[in-house]
Amino acid sequence: MTGAAAIATVYAVFGSEDEARRIGWAMVEEGLAACVNILGPCRSIYRWRGTVEEAEEAPALFKTRADAASALIARIAELHSYEVPAIAVCPIDEAWPDYAAWVRDTVI
């Protein structure tokens, strides 16, 4: 393995699997992400406007180049149904070299 600071994973949570799929497809088709993994439903407990709430959500992991992460985050937020979507970048410090090259070469 080798250092791969040039790639990143963007974590986002969606209100439904359908929303995650719709936005995931758009991000790959638009070239902002090489791939998206939509994980199984999760249970989220959170404070929103002074009230503790609970909801089922669909987390997703978007693979992208580090220099494309800001554009990817902005585009996900633009398409997202939440007023304040949870979207965060996880830098990749180390990755399989072929995988890192694939991500870098796939994102436009």
Least confident range of 10-14, 23-27, 70-74, 91-95: 91-95
DSSP single-letter state for residue 83: S
Task: Give pLDDT, residue 1.
Answer: 45
Task: Give pLDDT, residue 11.
Answer: 98
State how many domains the chain has: 1
Of residues 7, 3, 9, 4, the one with CA closest to residue 89: 9
Q: Is the pLDDT of residue 10 over 80?
A: yes
Question: Which residue shows structure tokens 């494309």?
Answer: 68
Q: Is the pLDDT of residue 18 over 70?
A: yes
Task: Give pLDDT, residue 4.
Answer: 55
pTM of the predicted model as reported, rounded to 2 decimal places: 0.93
Interior angle at CA 92, CA 55 and CA 46, nearest 5: 15
User: What is the mean predicted confidence (pLDDT) over 79-90?
Assistant: 97
Residue 5 pLDDT level (bands cut at 50, 70, 90): low
User: What is the mean predicted confidence (pLDDT) over 45-71?
Assistant: 97
- Structural domain that includes position 96: 2-106
Residue type, 77: A
Q: Please report, for the domain that includes residue 53, its CATH number.
A: 3.30.70.120
